[in-house]
Structure 1
Amino acid sequence: MKKQTKAAVAAGAGAILLLGGAGSLAYWNDEGTSPGGEISSGQLSLEDCTDGGTWTDVNNGTPIASITDFRIVPGDQVSYTCETAVNATGDNLTATLSVDLGDVTGDTALEAALNPVVSATSNGVTLPGGPTGVQIVPTGAAQPIVVTVTMTFDPGTLGTTAQNETINLSATTLTLVQNTNPVTP
């Protein structure tokens, strides 16, 4: 190697050592405080239904004394109504209340033939809803609501599908999930 090349390599290595380790290269910097403050998180919860709820034959508007004794047929609608409460606080919080038959047990053909839809009222006012569920907006306090789950036995059920079958609806769940994008009711 030439002397000039060796000298350039040695100078470059020395510069790297100075910059990377115990080097004296520094940039000006400073720190300051920001006008902080406290931040608090909101809340989203759904209480269990109270009072045991009631069943109604929607077709004729009569109460069902025992859902276990009711024999549903295609085209029938039955509804379950109960009182609960939603706790929703948060500046940009909206949530959807929906119903799920996912954990019910029994005959799958009958379960598949039932179409559950949830609706709700708060202080006598119907909450906005749609095919995905009921829209909940914060009120700042526990919001008492009356939830109704209406189950329609698919009127298009043909042949002997879902005849003489039973499912246990006690595992029906109401689910409250925060919306990823705020929904304007």
Structure 2
Amino acid sequence: MTNIETATLAGGCFWCLESAFNSVAGVKSAFSGYAGGHLDNPSYEQICQGDTGHAEVVQVNFDTDQLSYRDVLEIFFALHNPTQLNRQGNDIGTQYRTGIFYHDQKQKQIAAEIIQEISDEEIWPDPVVTELVEINNYYQAEDYHQDYFSNNPQNQYCNMVVAPKLAKFKQKFASKLKQ
């Protein structure tokens, strides 16, 4: 019997996070979506206006017999810059903020510990601004956002942003990838 846990993470464009997590052994699914806002069932267009309060997130369902929540967060922090407030690279707006939407107190504690470790180790020259908030909603993004990188290899953004980030990720985490 497997033990499935859910992590909901915001780290810029959800296409990058989703494509990386879907390649990790132990991840059963990773879906692009929206969390943390005040509008029910928002659309991508509404999110992009920047006034719904939602972040682009990836909801990761993983088998805790193969991958720990700490492992998931270590991958998450390797995939984005947690010191950029309301942006990742050229993607600017509150929807691109860095955040961990915890599902229980254990996740909150582990996330707080990792954020403190990253801060103490001074891995980044600037302070970590990753928000740590309890999940209050999650809406799966439109179908065309799911597996976007795999389904749209010709897309310029995918070629310039997602592909290099994914290649670097796969080198660093080769031992954790699906066979």
Q: What is the TM-score when the length of structure 2 is the normalising length? A: 0.30
- Larger strand proportion of the pair: 1
Report which of the two has the higher share of helix: 2
- Larger relative contact order (CA 8 Å, sep ≥ 6): 2
